Amino acid sequence: MEEKDITDSEKEKKDYGSENAYYSARPKIGAKGPSKLKQQFGRGITVFLVVAASILFYFSLLRLTSLSELLNKVIGVLQPVIYGCVIAYLLNPIVKKVDKYLLPVLERNMKSRESAEKFSRGVGVLAAVLVLIFLIMELCNLLIPELYYSIRNMVFTLPGQLNNLVVRLNEMATDDTTTSAFLKTAVEEGTQMLETWLRTDLLARTNELMSNLTVGVINVISAVFDFVIGLIVSIYILFSKETFTSQCKKGVYALFKPHHANMILHFTTKSNEIFGGFVIGKIIDSAIIGVLCFFGLTILKMPYAVLISVIVGVTNVIPFFGPYIGAVPSTILIMLSNPMQGLYFIIFILVLQQFDGNILGPKILGNSTGLSAFWVIVAILLGGGLFGFVGMVMGVPTFAVLYYMAELIVNSKLERKHLPASSKMYDPVSYVDDEGRYMSGREEETEKIVEEVVEDLEKEAKASERNS
């Protein structure tokens, strides 16, 4: 071994032609283990690092507002990169499908595998981007004109519909009854409040409304600009996704022990499986529900068909509460035009959501989260309360990942104790004795059944002996 090292160093000296050639080669970091100084003062260094970390944590709490502002600023600057990661994540299934079917064909017809992979990846990324651009253009061509006409008609017809509603309420309030008097008073007070708001608050806040409108237009333009940059970033991510994956994997194995690294990579793979199955499946499910809602409203000849279909489709992304969130404003809009049609819409949306919840949703999503209805509600309420609309959508898969991690930890601890991991085994009758053995609570019944079976077998054996 020493002779080999000597020859290697001599070769390096000959190659570099200098007596300092040895230092040109890359050294091995940490090859001889920890130094004697680190072994001697290791405990003191640990105490110092703990104290320093505590002091930094204390001062970070004092500067929590500044740190939050800094974090928001960093997130704002990196917004195009975040958009790019999201777009790449959504387009990745298309790229994988193209690679799955095109790459084997190219490998048979091309000499270099590397060239085949690059060509296949280029075709996949191009196909994914073209599909995304086509969908955006078609949605804009279909939705924007219809939304414009729906909102325009609503603006022009809504005052007349409100007047008709007031007239109907006044007609109902002609009788001298307690209900009619209450309705009349409510209509008069509501009318006075509306007139006061139009004369004072609306005129006084015109400048504020115009400034907010200007800021809103600027925000929309900025969001479109960030989306375009994000689309460019997503192309680079899709081309180099294997490189990024390998770098992250290498970093995990470098920073953690093999057991912990494998655990982290397992959770990462499971999270990708849960998020991918839920998010992409929910988008497809909501798009189908929006299209079915549009056809249903068109057949029933209801007003604002496109606008209401967009509302129902977008809110359907939210699990459990989404259909009701979208149905409430839609029902109000239709009822202002025709109360009976509003009633028909409620029946239609209930039928549509039953179809989605019992047939379409399970077919597309399956059991991608593994959560019961109770935990889905908890995840939606918690995510929505903390992060708004995004939290309501992403709360379910996030909670599903946390639930899976907790379940995995609990099951591993039970298996180390040689106890069953299935929750069904822990019914009210079962128990674990003081020695750590699992008892189903039905051993006596089981023993009786076994004894009866043994007795029957013995009787049959004796009877066969007699016959013989």
**Pairwise pLDDT comparison (50 vs 257), residue with the higher score:** 257
For residue 13, the model assigns a pLDDT of 47
CA 393 → CA 75, 115, 280, 400, 461, distances in Å?
20, 40, 12, 12, 67
Alpha helical stretches, state H, 63-112: 64-77, 79-109
**Pairwise pLDDT comparison (217 vs 13), residue with the higher score:** 217
What's the mean pLDDT in 330-344?
Answer: 80
For residue 160, the model assigns a pLDDT of 66
pLDDT of residue 447 exceeding 70: no
SS3 content of the chain, % helix, strand, coil (to 5): 85, 0, 15
DSSP state of 181: H
Integer Rg of the chain from CA: 34
Distance CA 89, CA 398 (A): 16
The DSSP code sequence of 240-306 is THHHHHHHHHHHHHHHS-HHHHHHHHHHHHHHHHHHHHHHHHHHHHHHHHHHHHHHHHHHTT-SSHH
pLDDT of residue 88 exceeding 70: yes
What's the mean pLDDT in 196-207?
Answer: 61
What's the mean pLDDT in 38-43?
Answer: 62
Number of helices (H), then strands (E), belonging to the chain: the values are 17, 2
For residue 1, the model assigns a pLDDT of 45
Return the closest-CA partner of residue 129 out of 78, 86, 94.
94
Condensed to tens digits (0 to 9), the pLDDT of residues 89-114 reads 889 988 999 988 888 888 888 888 88
| Contact predicate 83/230, CB 8 Å | yes
Look over the chain and give the mean of its residue pLDDT values, rounded to a whole number: 77
DSSP state of 26: P
Q: How many other β-carbons are positioned within 10 Å of the β-carbon of residue 24?
A: 11
Residue 432 host element (H or E): strand 431-432
pLDDT of residue 431 exceeding 80: no
For residue 151, the model assigns a pLDDT of 67
pLDDT of residue 428 exceeding 70: yes
Q: How confident is the model at residue 251 (pLDDT cuts 50, 70, 90)?
A: very high
What's the mean pLDDT in 323-336?
Answer: 81
Q: Which of 5-19, 47-61, 189-203 has the highest mean pLDDT?
A: 47-61
What's the mean pLDDT in 264-287?
Answer: 86
Q: How confident is the model at residue 236 (pLDDT cuts 50, 70, 90)?
A: very high
Return the closest-CA partner of residue 285 out of 277, 273, 295.
277
Segment among 171-175, 342-346, 355-359 with least mean pLDDT? 171-175
- Cross-strand pairs, 439: 431
**Pairwise pLDDT comparison (174 vs 125), residue with the higher score:** 125
Condensed to tens digits (0 to 9), the pLDDT of residues 343-352 reads 888 888 888 8
Distance CA 86, CA 234 (A): 8
Distance CA 129, CA 238 (A): 11
Q: Which is it for strands 438-439 and 431-432: parallel, antiparallel or unpaired?
A: antiparallel
pLDDT of residue 437 exceeding 90: no
For residue 126, the model assigns a pLDDT of 92
CA 410 → CA 263, 266, 297, 406, 419, distances in Å?
15, 16, 49, 6, 11
Identity (one letter) of the amino acid at 24?
S
- Residue 395's Cβ-count burial label (10 Å; 0-12, 13-18, 19+) is buried
For residue 178, the model assigns a pLDDT of 66
Distance CA 457, CA 468 (A): 16
| Contact predicate 313/296, CB 8 Å | no
What's the mean pLDDT in 370-393?
Answer: 81
